[in-house]
Amino acid sequence: MTRVYMDHNATTPLAEVVADRITAVLREEFGNPSSVHHFGQRAKAVVDEARSAVAELIGGDPSEVIFTSGGTESDNFALRGAAEALEPSGRRHLVSSGIEHEAVLNTLKALGRRGWQITMMPVGASGLVTAEALTASLTDQTAVVSIMHANNEIGTIQPVAELTRLAKARGAVVHTDAVQTAGKVPVNVKALGVDLLSISAHKFYGPKGVGALWVRRGLRLLPFMTGGKQERGRRSGTENVAAIAGMGVAARLAMAKMAEEAARLAALRDRLEQRILQTVPGTAVNGDPDTRVPNTSNISFDRIEAESLLIALDLEGVAVSTGSACSSGTLEPSHVLKAMGLPAHRTQNSIRFSLGTVNSEADVDRVVAVLPGVVDKLRSLTRTPVRG
Ligand SMILES: Cc1ncc(COP(=O)(O)O)c(C=O)c1O
């Protein structure tokens, strides 16, 4: 069976040049970057080159890039590190949005249990955080504001630059989770104006388990990994040299191909979306149709349980994902679609198609060929009445 992978927001396959570089570094650069001798200095040069590439990808300075174990650690470090550094100032308030990734949501919950006051901003029907919502949430006590650059489920890109100006005018530190934009669309820390920005290599054809946190020079951040003072004392632990090298190559590859690939994927995504809307009745696109990453389409299917559709598509060789999660036999609605105010039935029946380098027009045609039949079959099995 030919399989179609349309789940690139979950993870991407390793690019060939990245795999080659990782293999070469694993074999040849075994030194510890902290060692002063030849072997150590070679490994340090590998890490430094990757740091320059990652800095260039996001428009920052290499000295501002801290390598981490991925997006989750970067988000944890940003929020906990900035909040704890500001604790003595008496600011004990954190602001974020209801559509953030769990790496942010659950970190905020944990901080909330430790006495931090948390405000979760509502989002509009298309998933955008508004200036009004932020203005209404900010207080003189606000320490950190965290608003994701693009959402992983619906792809909506937030007006981070505008929101950052408002938050900084009230003296808050601003973090953005750019895990779903870095490598896909231009990301520039200066244009965004933020203090902290998280990225993850496996979302742009790099390896899993490596990411970076960009920290604006001069910002105080309390490290939560203490030890041998690697990464300028901010993230201790011997660097994962090969994975970091792979992330560097992936960053350079993304920069080289970004404009061309974004246009190609947007055209494929639009073709997929239009043909699904035309051929499958009872479908609707979720999120902002204009302000979104080029590879993502989130579609609700009336009278369908997303999990069932995902499994049925997988049996046909099509890999997609759902925002809702099936836990202990009950279908959890997507927290993102819920925060957007969608009715209950729309929050449990959405499928995310996220495209990437491996996809072609033939993949789109294959999905469009199997989808109507799969949906019809599932609908014929459900006793839920047709919604008017
Ligand atoms: C928006 C967003 N933030 C954070 C993460 C977590 O990144 P990682 O898998 O590298 O821990 C993801 C991954 O799904 C994501 O989509």
In tens digits, what is the pLDDT along the chain, a chain of 388 residues? 889 999 999 999 999 999 999 999 999 999 999 999 999 999 999 999 999 999 999 999 999 999 999 999 999 999 999 999 999 999 999 999 999 999 999 999 999 999 999 999 999 999 999 999 999 999 999 999 999 999 999 999 999 999 999 999 999 999 999 999 999 999 999 999 999 999 999 999 999 999 999 999 999 999 989 999 999 999 999 999 999 999 999 999 999 999 999 999 999 999 999 999 999 999 999 999 999 999 999 999 999 999 999 999 999 999 999 976 655 556 688 899 999 999 888 888 999 999 999 999 999 999 999 999 999 999 998 765 544 3
Question: Rounded to the nearest 5°, which phi and psi values hold at 157?
Answer: -95, 130
Spatial CB neighbours of 94, under 8 Å, sequence gap ≥ 6: 79, 83, 108, 111, 116, 117, 118, 119, 142, 143, 144, 145, 146
Ligand 1 pocket check: which of 176, 179, 204, 244 to mutate, most ligand atoms within 8 Å of Cβ? 179
Q: How many angstroms does the Cα of residue 17 sit away from the middle of ligand 1?
A: 23
Beta strands in 316-359 (DSSP E): 318-319, 321-322, 325-327, 330-332, 350-354
Q: Is the dihedral of CA 16, 293, 78, 323 positive or negative?
A: negative
| Protein residue with its CA nearest to atom 4 in ligand 1 | 71
| Protein residue with its CA nearest to atom 8 in ligand 1 | 71
pLDDT value of residue 347: 87
| Protein residue with its CA nearest to atom 5 in ligand 1 | 71
Q: How many angstroms does the Cα of residue 233 sit away from the middle of ligand 1?
A: 24
pLDDT value of residue 388: 38
**CA 103 to ligand 1: nearest atom:** 4
C-alpha–C-alpha distance, residues 220 and 156, integer Å: 30
pLDDT value of residue 332: 80
C-alpha–C-alpha distance, residues 318 and 56, integer Å: 35
pLDDT value of residue 325: 61
* Residue 326 designated active-site: yes
Q: Of the listed 326, 331, 370, 378, which one is catalytic?
A: 326
Beta strands in 255-295 (DSSP E): 283-286
| Protein residue with its CA nearest to atom 9 in ligand 1 | 71
Ligand 1 pocket check: which of 11, 180, 181 to mutate, most ligand atoms within 8 Å of Cβ? 180
Q: How many angstroms does the Cα of residue 103 sit away from the middle of ligand 1?
A: 7
Q: How many angstroms does the Cα of residue 386 sit away from the middle of ligand 1?
A: 36
Return the structure tokens found at 72.
């989750």
Ligand 1 pocket check: which of 151, 157, 203, 354 to mutate, most ligand atoms within 8 Å of Cβ? 203
C-alpha–C-alpha distance, residues 354 and 194, integer Å: 27
| Protein residue with its CA nearest to atom 14 in ligand 1 | 10
Amino acid at 120: M
C-alpha–C-alpha distance, residues 63 and 55, integer Å: 8
Q: How many angstroms does the Cα of residue 279 sit away from the middle of ligand 1?
A: 33
C-alpha–C-alpha distance, residues 98 and 200, integer Å: 21
| Protein residue with its CA nearest to atom 7 in ligand 1 | 71
- Global pTM? 0.96
Q: How many angstroms does the Cα of residue 8 sit away from the middle of ligand 1?
A: 12
**Ligand 1 pocket by Cβ (under 6 Å):** 70-72, 75, 101, 103, 148, 152, 177, 179-180, 200, 202, 211
